[in-house]
Each structure stands twice: as C-alpha cells, then as structure tokens.
Amino acid sequence: SSQNLSEEFAEAARQLKKEAPRIQFGKIDVTHQHDLRKEFNIQAFPTVKFFVNGSREDPIDCKGVRKASAFITWVKRRTGPSTVLINSTDQAEAIIKAGDLAVIGFFRELHSDSVEVFCETARDVPEMPFGMTASEEVCANYGVQRNSLVVFKEGKPVHNEVLEDGRQSKLGLTRIIKTFTLDLVTEYNIETSVKIFDVPVENHILLFTPMNSETFNEIYENYQSAAAQFRGKMLFVLVDTDEARNGRIFEYFRIRDIDVPAVRILNLTSEARYKMPADEVTVENLKDFCQSYLHGKAKQHLPSEEIPQDWDKMPVKVLVGKNFNSVIF
C-alpha cells in the first residue's frame, strides 16, 4: 500500500542520511502540483523518481522496490558500483550464503558488453546480492565456464546462463533471475499475487484444479515437470478451484466446475487468452501447448455464449463472442 511504501521510503531516507548525506530525499503531494504531475507524467501512486547531477531531465524510475533495505541498495547501486568484485572463494561464499538468493557473474575479463549488461541488471534487482569475478581460482572452485551468470539458491547453484556479447538484454536477465524469487509453480492467493505480477514475465500459464481431488498429485507433478522446462519464459501458476476467494479469476477465464482441471495461458500485455486444446494434463500436452503458444501458433480463446437464433431479426443486432468479429469486421 501507499502508506507502507511511504514508511519504507522514510526509513531508507533516515539510514542513507548517515551513510550518504549528499543524497537528498523529498516527498511531493502532486494532487496540488498539477504542473509537476504533468511534467513528469505521473500516472500511478506512489511513484519514486531519482534525479541525478542536479538535473530535472530524464529522472530514473524506481519500480517494484517496496522495502527500505532494497531501496537503500537500489540507491547505492545507482551512485556507486552495482556489483561486488570477488577475488577469492571465501568472498564468493560470503555472498552466496548471505541470503536466500545470490547472483554471481563469472567472466574472462571485466570489460565487455556482457559485463555491462550484468551490471545494469544488478542495478535493477536490488532485492538480492550480486557479485562478479574474473578469478581463475574462483571459477575453477565452482566448476563454471567463464562468461556465465549463475543463480544460487540456499547456497546451491540452480541456474547457469551462458553470457554472450550482444545476445542478452537487461530485461532478459532480470526475467530469468526474478523467476527464482518464486517457486517453480506458484499457488495463486492474495499474498502471492503481488509477487507474481512483480516478475517481468508476460506469459502466464494457469492450472485450475481442486487441490483436494484424488488426481491432484499426479497432475501437479506433470505441471511441475513442464514448469522446469519453461522457466524464465513462462510463469506457472496454480489456482485452487475449491478456494472461494479465487472466484474473480474463474470469472475472468470463464471456468466452470465441469471444466476442471483446465489449463489457460494469459498474455499480460495483450490480455489475450488461450485454452489448452487437450483435456489431459500430461507433460507432453503441456509442452505442446507452451511451445505452440511461444511459436505464435496457438489459437486465441474467446469464451462466448451460443449465438441466439433470432440475433439479427430486430433493428438492434445481438452480438456474442462467436459472431462479434464476423459481424463487426
């Protein structure tokens, strides 16, 4: 909420006043400052912008940061080095074991496009520690080929991304790294919904099923196997159809009790929806569905009532999803 963010913002300001007194914090109520709101194109509240070198031109947006600690890290990475330079295995271990997640870049040399993209990504993901190294000893210790980004979870490597100059973008790396803040499959509820939408993956696949059914374990295992194959490309969400509070999401997808288990894909940008053609939730069917969607071959799902028999008898025609396109366009 706005109130919480305001408190976290104030806490970050207090701490940074001691550590970095040259960074000033300010708060503006734009309800009375229409010119400022227009100049900086403020659409949503609260909005946090960072102005550099005394210029009001091109301030940097601080998005998705909700905690004082992450806020402080975000500011520090904007004003100083964005990653820790690692020279020894002990140093690497300290970073890897500091929290739940850590990201280490292993490089041949510390001046390349890949290093630049890695450092830019670190600036945008302040929730976790980032380190980079060109030390042969450190690379050998983890058995990692040079020019790789490795995500560590609970002290163990869980993902290795080979970095090639010009191939990766900051958004691509952010997407991969942030998916590890969620489980392979995330159950949808009030708490997780914020985290789900915080990960910049626009393709969401949702499994609608009662979690207390006899077939649930088998279906869930298949769903997890498919999730492992598409990590970073698609976000796998589980919706318990027995949970009354999930009613709005069923309505949105027009899921009825008789339909479950059901699998849908949602593109967050276009809001286009897709229905898995097969009824059985097998690894193979899930894989085919995801691949056909990612290759642009899946058909959009337009939930619709049947066309009424007398839809065109009167001067005002009756339209439903199934005849809308053909009549209008």
**Span 287-301, pLDDT tens digits:** 999 999 999 998 887
Q: What is the predicted pLDDT for the residue at 324?
A: 67
Per-residue pLDDT reduced to its tens digit, 179-197: 998 999 999 988 888 888 8
Give 186 or 52, the one with higher predicted confidence: 186
Predicted pLDDT at 137: 94
Q: Report the CATH superfamily, name and number, of domain 182-295.
A: Glutaredoxin (3.40.30.10)
What's the pLDDT at 109?
92
Any bridge partners for residue 156, and if so which? 153
Please provide residue 323's backbone torsions phi and psi, each rounded to the nearest 5 degrees. Answer: -110, 5
Domains 1-72 and 182-295 are alike in CATH topology: yes
* Domain spanning 1-72: CATH 3.40.30.10: yes
Q: Where are the domains of the chain?
A: 1-72, 84-179, 182-295
84-179 classified as CATH 3.40.50.970: no
pLDDT value, residue 304:
59
Its pTM stands at 0.78
For the ranges 100-104, 244-248, 253-257, the lowest mean pLDDT is seen at: 253-257
